[in-house]
Amino acid sequence: MKVRLKDIILKNPVIPASGTCGFGVEMSEWMDLNILGAISIKGTTREARQGNARPRIAECGATGMLNAVGLQNPGVEEVVRHEIPELRRLYDGPIIANVSGFSIEEYAYVCERIDKETDATILEVNISCPNVHNGGMAFGTSPEAAAEVTGAVKAATRKPVFMKLSPNVTDITSIARACVDAGADGLCLINTVLGMRIDIRHRKPVLANRYGGYSGPGVLPIALRMVNQVSKACPGTPIIGCGGVSSEEDVIEMMMAGASAVEIGAAGLRNPKACQTIIEALPRAMKELKIEHLEDIIGIVNNE
């Protein structure tokens, strides 16, 4: 079940997605963290953020949920001083530090601080958050802006940089290629799809932010399509696939589309042991499908 992200070996491809597992330590109540392939911690900005006004979560039945949390986090200094060291005390695998910003300078600063002060393994640079104003997704909707952020971050860190891309664009492949051309070591996609729910009794949006990011099983076909498109457009670039994955079969499907590893998000919010359940079920699914090594199936549909 081992997979690789550049030169980093994961014992399996399953990663709790950023924003759905706190800073990782919170999950230790439900499972031994060391069963996980890696952990992507909560998004970090330069300054502490309280996030958006409440309500900021809206359920969407069996298909998923909307969130407009707004990057609530304690700021990079607290993450460097406390959060990552606390996680490392319990977890010996790869730590993926998710970084967000409201300017190119902020992205570079946060990445440099995490690079110098922690043993985080990978930097996952979020240019795709759809529910904060004047930041996040603003950098992920044009190839030029995405490339500029990538170049600035690569100049600020020695760690592998994976750019997290937005599905809320016309052509995700042009943005992916721009990031790779600017030096990205890998890509992560997709982030949530911009959506909305309305309270018909009170005749107003459910979310205080009006719009939020839609995640859950309903976005899986979109994520698979985009992962496959990017894997063909950027051959040889490792991809962390995410979006609607909630079972071992979904993990295999995402890898067949072109992902080297897979993040589990909304499923983990519904069931905190979802990652463990999927990891434990993967060997059986591999046996049924006659898969000897998971790496053998990465992008296999592109061979047809």
Catalytic site positions? 129
Q: In Å, how far are 236, 278, 293 from 193, measured between CA atoms?
A: 26, 24, 32
- 161 and 185 in contact (C-beta within 8 Å)? yes
Q: In Å, how far are 81, 119, 188, 240, 287 from 24, measured between CA atoms?
A: 15, 15, 19, 18, 30
Strands 212-215 and 193-195: antiparallel
Tokens in use for 283?
């060997």
The kind and range of the H/E element at 103 are none
- 35 and 276 in contact (C-beta within 8 Å)? yes
Strands 65-67 and 212-215: antiparallel
Mapped onto helix, strand or coil, the DSSP state of residue 55 is coil
- 193 and 226 in contact (C-beta within 8 Å)? no
Tokens in use for 211?
């719009």
DSSP state of 299: T
